[in-house]
Amino acid sequence: MDLQAHERYCDEIVRLTGELRSAIRGADLDASVPTCPEWTLRDLAVHVGGAHRWAGEIVRTRATEALPDEQVPAFTPDGDDPAVLDAWLADGAAGTAGALREAGPETEVWSWYGPDRSAAFWARRMTIETVVHLADAALAAKVPYAMAPDLAADTIDEWLEIVAFAQSEGDPEAAELRGGDRSLHLHATDVPDAEWLIEFGEDGFTWRRAHGKATVAVRGPLTDLMLVFNRRLAPDSDRVEVLGDAELLDFWLARSSFG
């Protein structure tokens, strides 16, 4: 990752967290999150803020292994006051972005993702973590949600990389994403060249940015494709169109839930 991309991710961590704070401000923090039903809106916010602070501390300390939560300063907010939660989210995002900027993209740190053990990994991962959970918060708070096309596309790219890594590491669900010469095509209707072709082979699946005939295709606005792919929008929603073998799409979604 070059420095310009790294700086963009740092900026987005702060900006997206600001959107998350706006989405939940004044909302019922005890409301259930439809896409994460085991969480309340407060739980979701604390999860995002804790993830930011955990990743930021890994980068700040140049950690060589995972950090226990208790080693992360202010890992959770102090009390239930919404104003305290808001300030805690803002401070955590700013602190993490600052640690990432100071480190630069190439600094080596621990990560759970074998192909990339760098500060750059955490800048991208925390940005996309916030992209997805901002959608959760918006759905729970019943406020509009839209995502910049390049971030929505990057979210799909990263998820494919993660699922491919999970398959290579022997994850039992991801291991089933193979065989049968089947394929899945994602086609954004509002952004040129935003298409993905996922092909199942005997040794696993491969993917590339491409147009092609597939066993099943999903068409719709890029943000909605990203939400379907991350199991935040049902594939039978009228916001997307599924053509072909819908069961294959369900098969993919059920087995690409690594982490």
In a domain, 154, yes or no: no
Kindly indicate the confidence band of residue 54, based on its pLDDT and cuts at 50, 70 and 90: very high
Residue 157 lies inside a defined structural domain of this protein = no
- Looking at the fold, whether 106 and 9 belong to one and the same domain comes out as yes
In 3D, which of 17, 87, 11 has the Cα closest to residue 52?
Answer: 17
CATH number, domain at 89?
1.20.120.450
Q: Does the pLDDT at position 259 exceed 60?
A: no
**Long-range Cβ pairs for the range 161-169 (8 Å, 24+):** 161/115, 162/113, 162/258, 162/259, 163/256, 163/258, 164/204, 164/205, 164/207, 165/113, 165/114, 165/115, 165/258, 166/258, 166/259, 167/204, 167/205, 168/204, 169/114
Task: Specify whether 79 is located in the same domain as 136.
Answer: yes
Mean pLDDT of the chain: 96
Domain residues for the domain of 112 are: 3-141
Same domain, 62 and 175: no
What CATH number should be reported for the domain holding residue 172? 3.30.1050.10
What percentage of the chain reaches a pLDDT higher than 90?
96
Look at residue 258 in the predicted model and tell me its pLDDT: 60
Residues 124-143: tens digit of each pLDDT? 999 999 999 999 999 999 99
* Residue where a domain terminates, one of 74, 106, 141: 141
Domain count, the chain: 2
Label residue 1 by pLDDT band (50, 70, 90).
confident
> Are 33 and 112 found together in one domain?
yes
| Same domain (yes/no): 38, 136 | yes
Residue 229 falls within a domain, yes or no?
yes
pLDDT at 257: 80
Condensed to tens digits (0 to 9), the pLDDT of residues 192-241 reads: 999 999 999 999 999 999 999 999 999 999 999 999 999 999 999 999 99
Q: Are 154 and 134 in contact (CB under 8 A)?
A: no
Together in a domain, 174 and 136: no
- Does 153 map to a domain? no
Residue identified by tokens 């919404």 is: 82
DSSP state of 244: E
Position of tokens 């990389």?
Answer: 161
Q: What does the pLDDT look like over 4-40, one tens digit per residue?
A: 899 999 999 999 999 999 999 999 999 999 999 999 9
